[in-house]
Amino acid sequence: MPTPTWTRLSPARRERILVAAMDEFGTHGYSTGSLNVIAREAGVAKGSLFQYFSGKLDLFTYVAEQTSLRIYAHMQPWLDGYDGTIDFTTHLVNSLEAWLDYFAGQPLERGVTAATNMEMDPAVRNAIRVPVNAIYLSGLRPLLEQAVATGDLRKDADLDALLALLLVLLPHLALVPHVPGLDDPLPLTGIHAEVRRENLGRLVAPLLADYSARDRDRPTPSP
């Protein structure tokens, strides 16, 4: 939790420090990220950082929280914008396209997402991942429930399993195009937008098809 001093700072100074911290932690991770570098890049004395935060972990926690709030705010229209006028699989693919486009254009948020997903220290990971996961769950579950309400997903669809799979998958989808060696087999890297959209559909299809209530979502089985 930042100190009262932090809240009295000019927005410009706060933003410079936040950006420098996102950049450093997002590039090197928590434990390897350097407060010296953050202070230098922000144009601020290192001692000042300790006037705003109680220490390295406090700063990283703040960075992770702010980042997840920004990401969530950007995705909100897709989370509560489903009304059943298009089929749910298409809506989900559209949302994932927006998800990928967002991270393609926001290297800072992408880096912090990588850092929070790759942290080894259990104490740090718990401080970061649990609230972030809660944010994602609170947005995704209503979306799936809405899909059941509109009749796009079957009433007996296993929402818990679907949610767990999506939560594992989402960070990988966000990072794969920009993090070489992470999940090279995912067919989303270095391709045109139409091919990427098609491939997103190929990844989502097996997840959703079995729970789809509308016939048009289910391909004809071979005899």
Angle at Cα 143 formed by Cα 138 and Cα 148, nearest 5°? Answer: 130
Q: Exposed, middle or buried by CB within 10 Å (0-12, 13-18, 19+), for 21?
A: buried
Which entry of DNA, a second copy, none binds 125, CB below 5 to 8 A by partner kind?
A: a second copy
- Contact letters (x/-) for a second copy, 64-103, by CB under 8 A? ----------------------------------------
Cα–Cα distance for residue pair 198/150, rounded to 1 Å: 25
User: Using CB under 7 A as the criterion, which residues of the chain lie in contact with DNA when the complex forms?
Assistant: 4-5, 8-9, 13, 33-37, 44-48, 50-51, 55-57
Alpha-carbon gap, residue 30 to 26, rounded angstroms: 8
Cα angle 172-173-174, degrees, rounded to a multiple of 5: 90
Of 7, 168, 190, 194, the one binding a second copy (CB under 8 A) is 168
Partner that binds at residue 105, options a second copy, DNA, none, CB closer than 5 to 8 Å by kind: none
Contact residue for a second copy among 158, 191, 193, 195 (CB under 8 A): 158
Q: Where does this chain bind a second copy (CB under 8 A)? A: 27-29, 31-32, 114-115, 117-122, 125-126, 128-130, 133, 137, 154-156, 158, 160-165, 167-169, 172, 179-187, 199, 202-203, 205-211, 213, 218-219, 221-222
